[in-house]
Structure 1
Amino acid sequence: MKAKLAPIYFDPGKDEGFDVQLARLRELLADDAEFLEPLALGRRLPKEADAAIFPQMLGEAYRRVDDFRRLAAPIFVVTSEFGTLNMWDWEIVAYLEGEGVTTFAPYSLAQTRMLCRAAAARTHLRGRKFLVFQDNPGEGFQAPIFKRFYWWEDEAAARLSERFGISIVKKSFREFGARARAIPDAAAAAEWQRWRWPVDLPERALLSAVKVYLALREELDADPDIVSAGINCLNESHFSDTTPCLAWMMLYEERRLIWGCEADTLSMASKYVLHRALDAPILMTNLYPFLMAGPALKHERIPHFPDVSLYADTNPENYVLVAHCGYFGLLPPSFATEWTARPKVLAIVDENAHAVDGRLPVGPVTLAKLYPSLGKLTAVEGTLAGYAQFPGSDCLNGGVIHVPDGHRLVRRATSHHYLITTGHNLNDMRMAMGVFGIGVEEL
């Protein structure tokens, strides 16, 4: 999925320098962008343009602000031979910003490529669908908890449509679960021969998991506009004899489908946008800040938080335990340093169900999720310091993440569900989310 970029020149002013720089950009961005025919500033952008790009800036810009304002697309300023902004264009960029014209001025080639991916994703999302399987969300298991979640509100679906142009397609989990169970064991066993991942599951549990994959694959094949899917797999787990964890991982590895645990559409949107733009490993998990104490410990059925005395910062207030469905979180093998699927942990799901036990590499990470209004992304850079195991609990292998200010995170967090990306990505997130017109608040 390459961005379609419309090169813009100043008329008068276009010279050989524009042509030379445009040729360089075609080469530097060959894997990330397609270039449309150049056009003069003031002309209407073609409908297929994902963004406008200026290979050359001139002082003429100071007298053409209205024409900049009329560009109905993100504006990239990439004027150096290295695929970045040139330093002597800071003044023009700052002037335009002061006049209410937002431009994107990358200072590394990696950022320029990231902007291309973000622009392509912004266009690609329009008219696409998120598929969710649910019947009466909030009415099943742990109703007092699940009834509180914003992502099931009609308002949330309306805002996702307004902001990103996506539609939420809802189908019955009851019917889907029955259809998956009806798939013959032989068909599931034959399909698994293509995969043979290292799993630690009884045969019946494995076959049930593969049947969910086969049923989901049929749904996706029938509608190519579906770019993300989720199931109300915990709250309404009585509709299935398994969980969709393995199926989501198979579909990600096979067709890069973005998955949504518990049909959390806000997590799905956050994950889609960030993963497409950053091209970094990403997963959703639950946050249990050490500062939350009682509620967190009770929910995970653990006696205490992990010991942090051996880490660089020994203040437990700045740590968060992250865990989901008994383990670190749902991540595919291609992201993981260690990976397997194991029998279920949570009492809320069928005895035949399963969960994924995987690990990201320890080191820098960034937590992020869209605000309910979708007007901003909340994010914080931290460090995955290690892993902690609590036998006999709902946290058999959780992650321990250090953040700069645990109190600020607890005050400003917008959900118990958050995305984790590898690396410190806050600056890139600011730039990528700007393409969508979304700000970033640092936790």
Structure 2
Amino acid sequence: MIPVYFGVKIDNEYLIQLENLRGLLHEEADILDPRPIASKIPEEADAVLIPQLTEQAYDSLPYLKRVQLPIVVITSEFGTFSMWDWEIISFLRGEGIEVLAPYSLEHSKVICKALATKRKLSQSKFITYQDKPGEGGKQDSIFRRFYWWQTKCLEAMKKKFGATVEKRSYRELARKAIEIPDSEAVNVLRKISLNISNDLSERALLSAIKLYLALKKDLEKEDSVIGAGINCLNESDYSDTTPCLAWCLLYEEKGLLWACEADIMSLLSMYILHSTLKVPVMMSNIYPFLMGQAAIKHERIPSFPEIVEEPENHILVAHCGYVGLMPQSFATSWIVRPRVLSIVNDNAHAIDARFPLGPITMAKLDPTLNKLTVIEGLNKGYVQYPGSDCRNGMIIKV
């Protein structure tokens, strides 16, 4: 961050606050040497830092309006904005200047982490494994409707965040996985601890590990990969398994985030949230009770669970037979089970896992990439529908 000051010189109060911020944020930010607000902002800066607000800010609008970076006001010794700065902050916002004014030290640190995340996105890439998405697959007409299938989605991600998406062949990846000897997969299984259901066949488990090994080898070719996804449902004919276990293992080993079905929009949303907040994340489908039969038919369930109070404010969360894909370290319970969906190979698998009960937040970037939709909710529990496409779903009140 580049600190700026108003007027022609820096006073002692400014210098004390600047050193204070360098101490408070030493793990989250590199704070450069201060410059006058009228000077050119250096290219290496991710944000403009204002450690002291004075009445001269009112006369500095032309300089503030030309700033193309986030402007962060941290003027108190506690790593927040000072309460007597609120009027100047409100004035600046009224003039159309976007000002970030953190109300806690943790908030300041989150802002710094978000800035670091944006910088890393511009230096990194996502990998998607697919060959002919939306052409000759299992559910082409459905998949082609998703925004993340469109070239314009990838172009928008590149323009907004500098994020690069590289496409690789799923067919080729699956071929390499099948060629891995059983003995190599068995050797891996001896070294890891997994909770596996009794009805998962040995062949299914070995296939899952082989795909993990093939993915690991392919992704290790370069250091800039921060997330990956596979078009695992629509192009499921290419593989005798699914990548669910592979994604879990790669996250635990490398912190790699995943995109079920190569949903790159969800992956970008997850990466921003996880990298900034350091909290568990997952992607899944949501089925509002208000959708009625449209949702019920898709999951092949007889009805939504009976909710006495405010059923219209409840949703069912489910994906590929269970709640959604998450690593063991995120879950209160976690087990590898045989596949549920008929769209994938009989030899495939799925992860049956649960988040803790209590507060939960749903969030996703909107298609413009200019805002994040955030909805707070409450995980009230889980519901099971034997024989359906929702063997275990999560109920959230919003």
Alignment coverage as a number of residue pairs: 395
Provide the secondary structure at the position in 1 that maps to 2:220: helix
Aligned position for 1:55: 51
Are 2:141 and 1:156 aligned? no
2:143 and 2:149 in contact (8 A); partners too:
no
2:6 and 2:60 in contact (8 A); partners too:
no
**344, 348, 352: which is aligned to 1:357?**
352
Aligned position for 2:37: 41
Cα gap change, 1:37 to 1:197, in 2 (>3 Å): farther
Are 2:69 and 1:73 aligned? yes
Letter in 2 for 1:293: G
Provide the secondary structure at the position in 2 that maps to 1:356: strand
Listed as ranges, the matches of 1:216-365 within 5 Å are: 216-309=215-308, 314-365=309-360
Shift of 1:31: 2.4
Task: Find the aligned partners of 2:38 and 2:120 in 1 and give their Cα distance.
Answer: 26
Aligned position for 2:84: 88
**176, 179, 182: which is aligned to 2:179?**
182
Are 2:377 and 1:382 aligned? yes
Shift of 1:273: 1.3
Letter in 2 for 1:357: D
Cα gap change, 1:35 to 1:192, in 2 (>3 Å): farther
Cα gap change, 1:109 to 1:169, in 2 (>3 Å): same
Shift of 1:13: 4.6
Letter in 2 for 1:376: K
Provide the secondary structure at the position in 2 that maps to 1:327: coil
Provide the secondary structure at the position in 2 that maps to 1:242: coil
Deviation per residue, 1:113-158 (Å, 9 max, x gap): 1100111111111142221111111231122322322211111111
Provide the secondary structure at the position in 2 that maps to 1:326: coil
Task: Identify unmatched segments of 5+ residues in structure 1.
Answer: 404-443
Provide the secondary structure at the position in 2 that maps to 1:340: strand
Shift of 1:376: 2.6
Deviation per residue, 1:362-415 (Å, 9 max, x gap): 111121222223233222111111110111111111000111xxxxxxxxxxxx
Percent identical: 50
Task: Find the aligned partners of 1:101 and 1:402 in 2 and give their Cα distance.
Answer: 36
Letter in 2 for 1:167: T
Provide the secondary structure at the position in 2 that maps to 1:366: strand
Shift of 1:219: 2.2
Detail structure 1 runs of 4+ shifted over 4 Å in the superposition.
none
Cα gap change, 1:153 to 1:79, in 2 (>3 Å): same
Provide the secondary structure at the position in 2 that maps to 1:130: strand
Aligned position for 1:425: none
Aligned position for 2:211: 212
Normalization by structure 2: what TM-score?
Answer: 0.95
Provide the secondary structure at the position in 2 that maps to 1:210: helix
Are 2:189 and 1:192 aligned? yes
Task: Find the aligned partners of 2:214 and 2:152 in 1 and give their Cα distance.
Answer: 29
Letter in 1 for 2:335: T
1:368 and 1:377 in contact (8 A); partners too:
yes
Q: CA RMSD in A?
A: 1.5
Normalization by structure 1: what TM-score?
Answer: 0.86
Are 2:15 and 1:24 aligned? no
Task: Find the aligned partners of 2:376 and 2:280 in 1 and give their Cα distance.
Answer: 15
